[in-house]
Structure 1
Amino acid sequence: MLWYDAGIDGDYAITPEVWRRIVEELTGLGAIGADRADGTGDAGQRALEPVRAAPIVVVMDDFDELAAPDLLTGVEYLVRVLKGRVRVVLSCRTVPPLPLHRWRVTGELGEVRADQLAFTLDETAELISAYKVGLADSSVAELHALTEGWPAGLRLAALAMRDHPEPEQVVAELGTDDGVASYLSREVLAALPPDTCRTMAEVSVVEQVTAAMVEALTGRRDGARMLAALDQQGAFVYRRPGPGEWYRFHPLLSRLLYSELRRQDPARAALAHRRAAQWYIAHGPPAEALRHLLVAEDWATARETMDQHWPDIAVGSRRRSLKEVAPTPPEAIHTEPGLALAFAAERLDAADPVQARRFLRMGGDDRDDPAADNRSRAPVLLALQLAEARLAGDLEQTVEVATRLMSVSSTNDAVGRTVPAARALGLIAMGGARLQLGDLAAAGDQLCDGLALARRADLSQAQISAGSQLAMWYAVRGRLHAAARISRETMKLAERLGLTRATDLGWVRLAMAEAHYQWDRLEDARRLTDEAADHASGDPQMFISAAVLQAKIRFSAGQLAEAHQALLAARKEVAGARVSRPARRSLSLVEAEMRLAGGDLPASRRLLSSWAEEEPLSPWAATVEAAILLAEGRAAAAAAAVAPYLADGGDGASLTWRAQAGILNALAGKALGDRDRVIRGLDVALDAAEEEGFRRMFVAAGHALSELINAVAPAMSVYRLVATDLARVPVAPGAAAPPYLTGMPAAQGNPCMGVAPVEPLTARELTVLRYLQGDLSNVEIASVLYLSVNTIKTHVKSIYRKLNAARRREAVRRARELRLL
């Protein structure tokens, strides 16, 4: 390997010397004949004739600093002449002026971009742990969102937190006056022209920007060219995909620029806010206009904006801002309820419930206002109280306030023109609350009606809020294609309006993640779930939903430690938060599935039966119950447990659990020798697979189900195509075993499951064996099963002896041959 670094060897920027050095070293390695390496430039290039078969790697670090015109020509020639003999690796921040398009077509180019190098949420947590930093899971998610997985930024943050008494404070101030700020200043901003840096500072008052916004905020006339150049230069400025031509700064760069602007030139910062407000007044959304007006202390225009646009401001769909811009209220706020409500709306949008309640109390004080104004302000106050209830996660209060808002709006002559808008807000909030409470039948109608009214009233943020929650409603019901369609429509609207940081969009990502999970596209599902977790800061319901799905995805991929860690993080969140019963119950049910998959039937049964209240997730609980009964060899009882969920239950039913019930019914029928029951169960499951594309549950059921489909499918001609497809679905070699097949006592003696070992494994040994197929250490397995490490080691030795294996991989392979896994 040859390595050239412009940052270390600056003299290599002189093309003849660079080229001579490359030619000499390639000659020394035998890639070029010694008698031909006699010059530089064209002569040196002609000398590059391959005489050696072994590939040589030439790395050019900081290539954008090395890349003089002659060197670019030389590199192109090097790639063309020495195909397969020399591999050229270019490390650069900007796109090099080389024929990349041609190399892509010929398959000669491999590209690794910044987003591919970014840390995942799990990797971020692992890094923080390696630095011995005690950081809450919610703060880890906040750090990951703030750095966007940027490795250098995470390392600098970890170093700053390592010896800090309050690491959460480091996260809160990251990028303002620390190692990250120094890095960005020297490595990014120092390489840009001063006028560009000045423009970027003024633009940093907004979250996202278009060329028109740049020109409106700064007076420049080359906004498009400047943004495109910054994107191409790798200056931590990125163009967002989708419509609208939106760009965004990296959150840490935006923080740095804004903090410096306010510190060095407060007047220029206020002017930038006023210009931003005028732009948002003209183009929307009004919530952004209100925020900038309050920061710029334009009280009159702020009141006017609140009066005119309150339905689209008081949606309760918070923006996900990673830099704090808190306006300072004037003394007049105590005598101007309208202004107090404007401040309350801004604080609700910023997820600051304490200050929001304070301003709401001021806004509700009507002693100095005429009666007519009180009547017109009542819906505004109720809409903001509704947003406060949503922010607090008080679902019952949300339903109650939403009902009052719709009632007051429909009987108040003073606000007659805003009745549809107020009703839209009420229906959207009520539908979202019903969804979280598990009342799917009511939630669907309310969200659909709310979305229709929001479209009629042209309420952009309300449409995003309704669409996000409606997508999740479809996903929960197993209507995967509808969930994907609504998600795409909602994201497209958010991208067009520059509202991609709205918190409610976390539900869009979760809906899409659920669809991809059920379609067995685990990598896409993981990415979307991690993005949702980034959005979930301050929303326990969303955080728990993301954690449950993260656990499922990681467990399906055989990443057992990560799956349990996701559940542990969610349980910590539940401990101090107001969370719905279905959300709490989902944690115990998914853990019960994981324990069952590990063969720990007592723990699985304990988790299932530990719920003392009325069951909020009956279909899911029934499938877990049936899986446990199957594992206990009680097939008839398992079939009875899922029988009520085989029929279509209407709008409140979930196709996911209906399909799962069908699979379990078929497996129970196989155990009972009841062919009719097998066909009935497969009919339900295959119908769902054909309609919505379910795959994961079939993959999870493994060989037993694929053999059953192969045996019975010929008699089910209507599903022949999907049955043939599903019968060929491979079982991932590293994947966790299916929750309703593992742990079956009958598995070792079942003639269709392979030849049993000489000495059967005990139930506990089977449990340990199933954890051995993941990447958990003995210490981690002991932690998961609440056993000592020595006990685990004893079980492992016994497993090796009984399976005639010398190491873990061999034991797992042998167990799969015997169909123990």
Structure 2
Amino acid sequence: MIRKLPRIESQALRTISSQDNLQLIARPRLLKTLDDANAGRLIFIHAPAGYGKSSILAQWVHHRTERGELTCWLNLRESDREVSVLTSNLWNSITSVLGDDKELPDLGGLSDQDIYRLIRNRLAKAEGSLTIILDDYHMSSSTKLNNFIGALARDKVCTNHCFVICSHSRPEIPVGGLWVRGDLKSLDINDLRMSRNEVAEMFEAAGEPAQQSLIDSVYNRTEGWAVAVKMARLISAEQQSYDLFKGFDGKQADVATYLAERVVSNLSADALTLLKSIVPLSHFNEELLEHMAAVENCAETLQELESCGVPISRDSDNENWRRLHPIFRDFLLSMNEMEKVEFPAILEKATTWFARRGDIEEAVTLALETNLVTLAADIAESAGGWRLIYKGLGNMGPRIVDLVERLPEESWQHFPKLILGHAVASAKSGNLSLAEFQLERFERNVAAMDDGLAREFRLIKLLLFLYSDRQVPLSELPKLENSLASIATDDYVQIALSHNLLCFQYLENSMLDQARRYGDLAIQSFQNAGALFGEVHLYTHLGQAHYFDGDLKSAVQHYRTMIEKVRQNLGEKSDLDAIGQVLYAETLVEQGDLEAGEQILNWALPHIADNDSWFDILAAGYYTAVRIQKIRKNDNAALAILDQAAQTGHRRDYGRLRRFVMRERISLLASIGLPSEAAALAESKGLGEESISKLVFNTLPSRLRGDVPAIMWARIYFEQQRYDLVLNTLAALEEAQDSRSSFLRQLKLNLLKLRTYLAMQDMQVAGKLGDQILLNAASLNYCASFLDEGDLIGDFIQRRARNSDLSPILGERYKKLASRLAAIVKPKSDLHFTTREESVLQCLKKGLSNKEIARTLNISENTVKFHVKSIFRKLNCTSRTQAVLAAREITSN
């Protein structure tokens, strides 16, 4: 069924016209009840059609508007069962009422939990109180939606707001706690019935004062049912005769009979023709009716329908949308005369009208509801097919799946972009096997593909590699690059996805310059497409590209940008927030801030293990958590983390994660002095010594974190004191590589070699290699990488820092690194702080800012800065977090 556009009725849009006021009776009792209930969090209004639910709400909103109070009103529909669809409507409604008209972020790929956070965070930022009316809730009620609305109503951030749920039956929203606390008010039939006085007022308002006996008869027979009272008043307007009410008991059948005899039969030919064209439409406006070309002078004929008593209610005066009363519409649909009306033709015209307006969602939904499958497919195909899923239209994924499944397979060749959309939607919903199956069917059924379609097919096929955690062949990347020149400049979605894919794949192969280049382009492309959540994903790729290339500062900047953007839209601890935080924790730990990194991972790592994430995010989280415990020499804790990682890999069927965890377990067993056990485990898992020479297992550029089998066995050989074999294995590994490894990978290899030379007591070679490592200033920031290799490295750095024969540059770098490493693993305990520094340090531990410290200690902010700088120097720290961490280890407080 066609629904009105927009589906938003805000306090700025929803008003009561003078004509409406003639038909509405002021009901101060109900208005006061609603005002009182509005102090709570939730109002239920539930009664069958015709009890005046929408009418009383219209009056209430009118009064609220006059008082300057904010209200948004949504008429729900069946498709609003999809949380993302309701979110889109609710977002637009809220921003319209608040006057900021903030564009809805792209919902593509968001979980329902993150969508909830999006709306929750938006409501939290709203100034003052907002009343949100969800009318016709029965049209969209579902367990998922009930839980969604219930969670919002119960949420503490929504304390100042009130939800009003209007439905045919009592909504099954889980809000028992609100009821107990008095924050839920429920109005039913008994509250909505018109009183005897209100029945009399309705007659008087129409200039038709009636005898008390007539009022009593109408009241008794209608039992206060508003629509029946209105019909009775219209009867009396035609003939003041009590006999006309014989047998009229206010039931729906009698109202229908009246409508047939007293309204429809008295319409002019044009009015009846227009009415028949309206019947299939649940919502309409004059522009749509004129497109239908049912009659001339459509506006005048529509006015005639209203003046003759046809119950037409107005929705939003903004676009003059109207609808027939549902009881009246149901009656018309049952009339014999309606059998002659060509409903399919009417609905087809309406569908094409919506499509021409650019409302693809409405057009496709209407066509599907009326079984115009081919028309729906034509519209979706012309609008871009699979692109609709990435344009933030939250419900188009399910719509495309439904549409394709209703299309006969022999017609697929006519809708190739739509078929690709089915594969994308299936993959995004986690049904990877169906997505792959659909692509195979696509190749069979779409035999002839032009260059443009072939390019789109290749892009979707490569995207499915990412969803299924498979690596894209390197040979495909130049083809994808070359195809960019052939994409239309306004095809933002295809350009953005191509840039995104290139960025990620170049990152996965340690081709970091290219990754950064396409990452920057992808961010711009997603911004052009208005896809915020496509954009924020790119910060994970760009941040990692900088991290592995030795630029920790830029990596931190990208992660913090992502976290800030996500929290602005979704609030804290959403899926995307957790993803950004895990990567940020990795940089903190690399710099030596173990405690801060661990605090983040304590909540973020379990979150990504159970929610939205992918291989490199999970690998970063578990790898970082293990490193923290290894540096602290908590070997059992490190093994326990690997156990958790293995469980996640099995539960989510991530093969790469399971293999990654197994290699790290073998390396950990070796490093804690169990080389025989490590070797036995390697052999049992198909990673015996023969795996050392297999390049397919040891391609360093495509393995960003952790040990490959050759490095794993080098660690086993080290613990067996077979040092020459360690060096030979590492040399052969580097010689076998076809492309350059990342800065971080090379640093770790050099540190393992340095450790080996130190174990061999070859101090001359060790010194040269150590100097070579520190000649790259970036190495100074990667403290954890030095600590990963144990005490041999740390002792070497300390000795080298005391060597007066080194060049000034190297000497200074060794001293700086030695100071940082010492502060992480063994802070000095003989530091002396002045009394004022002690006071400032206590404030730092409480998390106070410089301004807050100055206010607390009654000193100037410049004085605070001076003391903070002195504290940092004494603790060899560069951040407040590091200072607090170091101070906790050297003070009793």
Q: For this structure pair, what is the TM-score category when the shorter chain's length is used for normalisation?
A: 0.3 to 0.5
Larger radius of gyration: 2
> More relative contact order in 1 or in 2 (CA 8 Å, sep 6+)?
2
TM-score between both structures, scaled by the size of structure 1: 0.47
